[in-house]
C-alpha cells in the first residue's frame, strides 16, 4: 500500500484549550501566517473554527522544523504534536510578595504595583483594562492587559513575585496553548494569495469575487455562511414544529408576463417555446393548498431578471410559506414566531413579539415609503394647510395643482453650510424634487432667503408641528405626493445615517398592513394590482370592487425591519367569481386568462380552501443579522450588478450545435 499522509484530525483549529495541555492533537488547516525566528518557527494554522498556533522546534523534531522552512501562507498542512501551555517568556522583574493580595482579590491594581511595570519600560505601562486569572491558588497568575493586548505570567517565589513576559495571546480563543509539532505533512502548497485571509481587509469587491474561494476562508465570511445555515435550519425546524410540510416546486415553469421579467430557458422539444424560472413559487404553493397540503413551506430559489441594487440579486432565496384555513392574524403569528426563532437561534438577537402594525397610508405619510426605518425620528410633517396662503409661489403652485407641502426638521441642521444644503438639494433631485426649501431656526428668528414669503405665524406653526428647536433646520418639498414622499423619505434616511441618528444594535420589526388592492396607472389609464393578481380584499371593502376599485383594501401585509422589506404576503382569493372580477377590473381578456392561468382557474373551481401565505427573504434576514448593507456579502457566490458570475463568467456563449438543437438563432455578432 502506498504511504498516504494521514488526514485524520483530533480537533479543529478553534477547539483546544488550556485543559487539553499535555494531550496529543492532530490538526488540519491553512497557514495564516508563518513567523520564522531562526531557531523556532511559529505557524498560525486556520480552519473554519479558528486559529491555533503550532510551533516547529528543532529540539522537538528536526525534520518537521526543516520542512516548515518551506511553508508559506495558505499552504494546507496536517500536523500532529503535543498540546502545551504557553510557557512564560523572559523574567521582567521581581516584586514584593505583598502585591500578591492585589492579584487574588480582584480589586484594581494599586498605582505602586502598576508603576513597577512602567519603570521597567514604558512599553509595559498597564492600561486601565486589566484582567487577572488565577492559574494556581497563591502560586501563579496570568495578568492580561486587554487594551494593549499583552500578558504577564506572575509566579510566587519564596518571598517575592516574579513577573515574566506572557506568551498568551488574549485575542485567540486558543491563545493559552500551542501545539508543539513532532510531525508535519504539507498536504498542498499555495500561490501567494491576492489578499490576506483575515477580517477587515480593504480590497476591492471584484478582486474578492474573482478569488471568492480565498475570500470565503476569511473568518467573517465563514461566520456569515454558518449564520445563513443556522437561519435556514432554524426555519426548517420551526416550520416542521408548526406542522408545515417542505415541498419542492418546479424550477422550470411557465412564464407569467405580469410583474418582473422572467429568466427564460428555451425548450428543445418545443422549438420557440420557453420555460421560465420562478419569480416565486406563488401559483404552485396555492395549488398545494388546493391539493389539501394544508401547510407548506419551501426554502425556494427565486429569479427576477431586473436590474440589481445593493439589496437585490438576480437570484435570491425565500422562505416560502402558505397555509390553509388561515387569515391575516394566523399568518402574522406564525411569521412572528419564525422571525423570533431565526433571529434568536441564528443571530443571537432577542426579538419581542407581537410586532407593531402600521397602516400603509400612515407609513407613507410619516416616512414617505412602506418600509420605514423606525430606529430614529425626523418624521415627515404635512404643512399643506398652513402654506396654502403663503407668498412662496413654489408652494402655492404645487398646492393648487393637487400637490403637497411637507417637511422634516433636522436636529442641529442650522450649522449646515451653503454647500451642505446644495448637496442635499442635489440629493433630492435624484427623486425628481425640483428644489429643497429650507429655513434655519435660530434663537429668536427664522433665517433663510425665503422667510420673507411667509407670515411669521406660518413658520411658527410649521416649527411647532415638526418639533423643530433652535439650532435645527427645516427642509420643505412641494410637489406631487409621490415626489414629496420619495424626496423627503430618502432625505430622512440619508440624514439619519449621516448624522448617526441610528442605533445599530436595534431591530425594529414592523408590519405594514391595510394596503390598497389596486394602484391607478396614470400613463396606461388603468388599474394595476398593488401586490399581485391573487391578493384578496377585506370583507368590508369587497363591495367596492363594483363601485370604486381604488378604495378596496387588500389583505396584503409586509414585514419591515430597519428599513428593509423582509417579508411580503397576503390572504389569497379562493373564490372563482371574485378572481374573475379582479381580471375584469384589470382588463385581462378571457383568452389571456385562459392561456396564462387556465390550470389555476380550473383548480380554483374544484374546492379551494381559504388560504394565505407569506415569503420571508432569507438573504435580507441574514444581511440584517450580520449588519451588512450589501446582499452579496451574505451569498456564497453572488452575481455582479450586471448579472455576471465573477468566478465562472456565466452567462457564456454556447456552441452553434446547441443553438441549432434549440432552434435558436442569435441576432448579434458574438
User: What part of residues 324-383 is at the interface with RNA (CB under 7 A)?
Assistant: none
Name the minimum Å distance from CB 409 to RNA: 23
Residues numbered 105-124 forming contacts with RNA, rule: CB under 7 A: none
Is residue 454 within 8 Å of residue 390, measured between CB atoms?
A: yes
**For RNA, which is the closer residue by CB, 447 or 630?**
630
Residues numbered 252-271 forming contacts with RNA, rule: CB under 7 A: 256, 258-261
3-state class (DSSP) for residue 591 = helix
Question: Is residue 430 a contact residue for RNA (CB under 7 A)?
Answer: yes
**For RNA, which is the closer residue by CB, 380 or 383?**
380
Name the minimum Å distance from CB 62 to RNA: 10
Torsion, CA 624, CA 630, CA 632, CA 633, rounded to 10: -60
**For RNA, which is the closer residue by CB, 376 or 431?**
431
* Residue 141 dihedral angles phi and psi, to the nearest 5°: -135, 150
d(CA 411, CA 471): 7
Question: Is residue 214 a contact residue for RNA (CB under 7 A)?
Answer: no
**For RNA, which is the closer residue by CB, 306 or 602?**
306
Binding span for RNA by CB under 7 A among 164-172, 268-276, 501-509, 655-663: 164-172
d(CA 10, CA 7): 10
For residue 273, the Cα-to-chain-centroid distance in whole angstroms is 38
**For RNA, which is the closer residue by CB, 258 or 584?**
258
Residues numbered 397-416 forming contacts with RNA, rule: CB under 7 A: none
Is residue 27 within 8 Å of residue 209, measured between CB atoms?
A: no
**For RNA, which is the closer residue by CB, 81 or 407?**
81
Binding span for RNA by CB under 7 A among 87-95, 116-124, 223-231, 233-241: 87-95
Residue reference for cell 450586471:
642
d(CA 341, CA 520): 39
* Residue 289 dihedral angles phi and psi, to the nearest 5°: -70, -40
Is residue 294 within 8 Å of residue 323, measured between CB atoms?
A: yes
Q: Which of 642, 648, 652, 653 binds RNA (CB under 7 A)?
A: 642
Residue among 455, 452, 379, 394 nearest 425 (CA): 394
Name 232's bridge partners. Answer: none
**For RNA, which is the closer residue by CB, 29 or 448?**
29
Total residues binding RNA (CB under 7 A): 75
**For RNA, which is the closer residue by CB, 18 or 451?**
18
Burial environment of residue 92 by CB neighbours within 10 A (0 to 12, 13 to 18, 19 or more)? buried
**For RNA, which is the closer residue by CB, 461 or 644?**
644
Name the minimum Å distance from CB 303 to RNA: 10
Name the minimum Å distance from CB 463 to RNA: 30
C-alpha cell at 63: 525534520
Count of residues making up the chain: 670
Site mask, RNA, residues 273-312, x = CB under 7 A? ------xx-x---------------------x-xxxxxxx
Question: Is residue 162 a contact residue for RNA (CB under 7 A)?
Answer: no
Binding span for RNA by CB under 7 A among 192-200, 269-277, 348-356, 657-665: 192-200
Question: Is residue 226 a contact residue for RNA (CB under 7 A)?
Answer: no
Name 236's bridge partners. Answer: none
Residue among 332, 333, 351 nearest 341 (CA): 351
**For RNA, which is the closer residue by CB, 368 or 386?**
368
Site mask, RNA, residues 169-188, x = CB under 7 A? x-xx--x--x----------
Residues numbered 602-641 forming contacts with RNA, rule: CB under 7 A: 630, 632, 640-641
Site mask, RNA, residues 518-557, x = CB under 7 A? ----------xxxxxx------------------------
Q: Which of 39, 271, 377, 651 binds RNA (CB under 7 A)?
A: 39
Name the minimum Å distance from CB 651 to RNA: 11
Peptide bond into 236 cis (omega under 30): no
Binding span for RNA by CB under 7 A among 85-93, 239-247, 444-452, 652-660: 85-93
**For RNA, which is the closer residue by CB, 12 or 471?**
12
Question: Is residue 317 a contact residue for RNA (CB under 7 A)?
Answer: no
Name the minimum Å distance from CB 118 to RNA: 18
d(CA 297, CA 503): 33
Max Cα separation, the chain?
100
C-alpha cell at 459: 413658520
Helices vs. strands in the chain: H and E counts, helices first: 19, 27
Residues numbered 472-491 forming contacts with RNA, rule: CB under 7 A: 486, 490
Q: Which of 44, 47, 153, 514 binds RNA (CB under 7 A)?
A: 44
User: What DSSP string describes 284-352?
Assistant: HHHHHHHTT--EEEEEEEEE--S--BTTB-SEEEEEEEEEES--HHHHHHHHHHHHHHHHHHTT-----
Is residue 561 within 8 Å of residue 509, measured between CB atoms?
A: yes
- Helices (H), ranges, 242-296: 282-290
Name the minimum Å distance from CB 375 to RNA: 18
Q: Which of 15, 205, 315, 345 binds RNA (CB under 7 A)?
A: 205
**For RNA, which is the closer residue by CB, 91 or 388?**
91
**For RNA, which is the closer residue by CB, 216 or 351?**
216
Question: Is residue 53 a contact residue for RNA (CB under 7 A)?
Answer: yes
Binding span for RNA by CB under 7 A among 54-62, 117-125, 349-357, 599-607: 54-62
- Helices (H), ranges, 183-218: 205-210, 212-215
Q: Which of 16, 27, 54, 55 binds RNA (CB under 7 A)?
A: 55
Strands 274-276 and 264-266: antiparallel
d(CA 555, CA 538): 6
For residue 303, the Cα-to-chain-centroid distance in whole angstroms is 19
Angle, CA of 583, 584 and 588, to the nearest 5°: 60
d(CA 439, CA 661): 68
Question: Is residue 194 a contact residue for RNA (CB under 7 A)?
Answer: yes
**For RNA, which is the closer residue by CB, 97 or 310?**
310
Binding span for RNA by CB under 7 A among 40-48, 123-131, 132-140, 340-348: 40-48
Question: Is residue 42 a contact residue for RNA (CB under 7 A)?
Answer: yes
Q: Which of 4, 38, 111, 652 binds RNA (CB under 7 A)?
A: 38
Binding span for RNA by CB under 7 A among 39-47, 111-119, 331-339, 653-661: 39-47
Name the minimum Å distance from CB 200 to RNA: 11
Burial environment of residue 307 by CB neighbours within 10 A (0 to 12, 13 to 18, 19 or more)? exposed
DSSP state of 496: H
Question: How many other C-beta atoms are found inside a 10 Å radius of the C-beta of residue 297?
Answer: 26
Amino acid at each position: 500500500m502506498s504511504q498516504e499522509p494521514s488526514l485524520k484530525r483530533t480537533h479543529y483549529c478553534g477547539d483546544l484549550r488550556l485543559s487539553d495541555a499535555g494531550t496529543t492533537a492532530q490538526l488540519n488547516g491553512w497557514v495564516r501566517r508563518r513567523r520564522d525566528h531562526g531557531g523556532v518557527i511559529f505557524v498560525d494554522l486556520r480552519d473554519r473554527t479558528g486559529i491555533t498556533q503550532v510551533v516547529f522546534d528543532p529540539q522537538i523534531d528536526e525534520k518537521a522544523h526543516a520542512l516548515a522552512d518551506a511553508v508559506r501562507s495558505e499552504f494546507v498542512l496536517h500536523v500532529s504534536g503535543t498540546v502545551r501551555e504557553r510557557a512564560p517568556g523572559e523574567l521582567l522583574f521581581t516584586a514584593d510578595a505583598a502585591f500578591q493580595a492585589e492579584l487574588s482579590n480582584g480589586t484594581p491594581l494599586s498605582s505602586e504595583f502598576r508603576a513597577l511595570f512602567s519603570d521597567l519600560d514604558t512599553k509595559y505601562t498597564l492600561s486601565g483594562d486589566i484582567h487577572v486569572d488565577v492559574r494556581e491558588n497563591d502560586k501563579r497568575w496570568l495578568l492580561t492587559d486587554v487594551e494593549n493586548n499583552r500578558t504577564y505570567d506572575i509566579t510566587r517565589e519564596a518571598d517575592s513575585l516574579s513577573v515574566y513576559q506572557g506568551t498568551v495571546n488574549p485575542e485567540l480563543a486558543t491563545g493559552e496553548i500551542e501545539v508543539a509539532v513532532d510531525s508535519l505533512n504539507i498536504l498542498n502548497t499555495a500561490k501567494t494569495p491576492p489578499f490576506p485571509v483575515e477580517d477587515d481587509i480593504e480590497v476591492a469587491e471584484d478582486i474578492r469575487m474573482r478569488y471568492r474561494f480565498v475570500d470565503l476562508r476569511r473568518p467573517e465570511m465563514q461566520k456569515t455562511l454558518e449564520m445563513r445555515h443556522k437561519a435556514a435550519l432554524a426555519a426548517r425546524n420551526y416550520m416542521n414544529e408548526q406542522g408545515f410540510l417542505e415541498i419542492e416546486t418546479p424550477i422550470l415553469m411557465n412564464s407569467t408576463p405580469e410583474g418582473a421579467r422572467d429568466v427564460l430557458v428555451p425548450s428543445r422539444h418545443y422549438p420557440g417555446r420557453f420555460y421560465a424560472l420562478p419569480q416565486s413559487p406563488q401559483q404552485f404553493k396555492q395549488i398545494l393548498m388546493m391539493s389539501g397540503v394544508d401547510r407548506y413551506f419551501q426554502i425556494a430559489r427565486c429569479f427576477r431578471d431586473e436590474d440589481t441594487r445593493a439589496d437585490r440579486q438576480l437570484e435570491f432565496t425565500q422562505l416560502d410559506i402558505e397555509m390553509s384555513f388561515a387569515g391575516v392574524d394566523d399568518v402574522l403569528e406564525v411569521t412572528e414566531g419564525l422571525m423570533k426563532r431565526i433571529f434568536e437561534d441564528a443571530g443571537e438577537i432577542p426579538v419581542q413579539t407581537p410586532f407593531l402594525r402600521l397602516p400603509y397610508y400612515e407609513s407613507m405619510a410619516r416616512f414617505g415609503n412602506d418600509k420605514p426605518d423606525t430606529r430614529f425620528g425626523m418624521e415627515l410633517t404635512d404643512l399643506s394647510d398652513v402654506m396654502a396662503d403663503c407668498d412662496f409661489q413654489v408652494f402655492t403652485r404645487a398646492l393648487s395643482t393637487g400637490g403637497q407641502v411637507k417637511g422634516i426638521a433636522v436636529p442641529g441642521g442650522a450649522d449646515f453650510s451653503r454647500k451642505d444644503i446644495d448637496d442635499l438639494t442635489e440629493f433630492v433631485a435624484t427623486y425628481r424634487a425640483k428644489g429643497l426649501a429650507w429655513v434655519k431656526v435660530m434663537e429668536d428668528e427664522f433665517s433663510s432667503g425665503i422667510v420673507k414669503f411667509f407670515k411669521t405665524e406660518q413658520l411658527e406653526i410649521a416649527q411647532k408641528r415638526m418639533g423643530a428647536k433652535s439650532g435645527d433646520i427645516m427642509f420643505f418639498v412641494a410637489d406631487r405626493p409621490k415626489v414629496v414622499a420619495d424626496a423627503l423619505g430618502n432625505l430622512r434616511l440619508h440624514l439619519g445615517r449621516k448624522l448617526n441618528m441610528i442605533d445599530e444594535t436595534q431591530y425594529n420589526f414592523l408590519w405594514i398592513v391595510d394596503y390598497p388592492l389596486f394602484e391607478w396607472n396614470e400613463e396606461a389609464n388603468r388599474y394595476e394590482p398593488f401586490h399581485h393578481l391573487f391578493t384578496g380584499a377585506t370583507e368590508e371593502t369587497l363591495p367596492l370592487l363594483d363601485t370604486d376599485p381604488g378604495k378596496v383594501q387588500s389583505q396584503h401585509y409586509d414585514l419591515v425591519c430597519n428599513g428593509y422589506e423582509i417579508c411580503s404576503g397576503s390572504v389569497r382569493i379562493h373564490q372563482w367569481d371574485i378572481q374573475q372580477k379582479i381580471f375584469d377590473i384589470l382588463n385581462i381578456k378571457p383568452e389571456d386568462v385562459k392561456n396564462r392561468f387556465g390550470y389555476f382557474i380550473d383548480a380554483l373551481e374544484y374546492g379551494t380552501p381559504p388560504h394565505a401565505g407569506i415569503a420571508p427573504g432569507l438573504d435580507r434576514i441574514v444581511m440584517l443579522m450580520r449588519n451588512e448593507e450589501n446582499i452579496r456579502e451574505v451569498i456564497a457566490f453572488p452575481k455582479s450588478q450586471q448579472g455576471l458570475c465573477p468566478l465562472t463568467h456565466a452567462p457564456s456563449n454556447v456552441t452553434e450545435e446547441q443553438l441549432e438543437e434549440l432552434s435558436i438563432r442569435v441576432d448579434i455578432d458574438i
